[in-house]
Amino acid sequence: MPRKKNQLETISITLSTTERVVAYLEALVDSGLYGKNPAEAAERLVAQGIEELIRRGTLRARDPNRGQLT
């Protein structure tokens, strides 16, 4: 079953890293739980890290419709 189109607008950024980090990202992709490529795996890890920082109170949640702090 195909994936649904992302409902949110995305913005591309460039991330430089080491071969070792890419190898870890590829291992996560191979697990089938972190997307289809290393870039998707990195995005999911960043999103999870941000969610954790919001839970801890280090970051404040933003309005999902406007990107502003709530």
Query: Confidence band (pLDDT; 50, 70, 90) for 70?
Result: low
Per the model's pLDDT, the better-predicted residue between 69 and 23 turns out to be 23
Mean of all residue pLDDT scores within the chain = 89
The tens digit of pLDDT for each residue in 32-63 reads: 999 999 999 999 999 999 999 999 999 999 87
Cα–Cα dist 17/37, whole Å: 15
Identify the band that residue 6 occupies on the pLDDT scale cut at 50, 70 and 90: low
**Taking the model in full, what pTM does it have?**
0.77
